Amino acid sequence: MVVNDGLVCTPARGPNSASQDLYDRTAALGAATIVTLAVGAPYMKVGLVRFKVKRVAGTGASFTPYLFSESGVSTPLDISQEFAGISTLNAVLFDPAFTAPVAMQCDGSGNLYMMLAPNAGADNTYDYCLRFFKYE
């Protein structure tokens, strides 16, 4: 079990490989700030099984999480969008229930890119945790 300032990720097992957790706290983010997530090898396919986000500081009242497979994205709804969350109030933990892994592919650097898109301010800080399987 990994704890990062109250956000807990518990290891799990899957059919293709052991799951991996990627967790951290962001720096202050504005609406279009992108966070690079070093997931693995170039063009690696992963199955997202858990994605939790909690705002811990800032002026925004809500946020909407997105994941992309390419860098340089500045707005949601880009063709490289792999996952789109729903608008979430800051007092609530974003923690959707996946009935199956969400398949994604990393870019040529082995990265995914996260945008948390707060509705206001450039001083929003978040804890996040992604749990994923590597497809081999």
CATH fit for domain 2-134, picks 1.20.1530, 1.10.260, 3.40.50, 2.60.120 = 2.60.120
Q: Flag the least confident range among 9-13, 42-46, 94-98, 121-125.
A: 9-13
pLDDT band at 11 (very low <50, low <70, confident <90, very high): very low
Which pLDDT belongs to residue 17? 53
Residue 102 and residue 125: Cα distance in Å, rounded?
25
Residue 40 and residue 70: Cα distance in Å, rounded?
14
Which pLDDT belongs to residue 18? 63
Judge whether residue 63 has pLDDT over 90: yes
Judge whether residue 103 has pLDDT over 60: yes
Which pLDDT belongs to residue 30? 80
Judge whether residue 2 has pLDDT over 80: no
Residue 30 and residue 124: Cα distance in Å, rounded?
7
Q: Which two tokens stand for residue 116?
A: 């948390």
Q: What percent of the chain has a predicted confidence (pLDDT) above 90?
A: 41
Of residues 4 and 75, the one with the higher pLDDT is 75
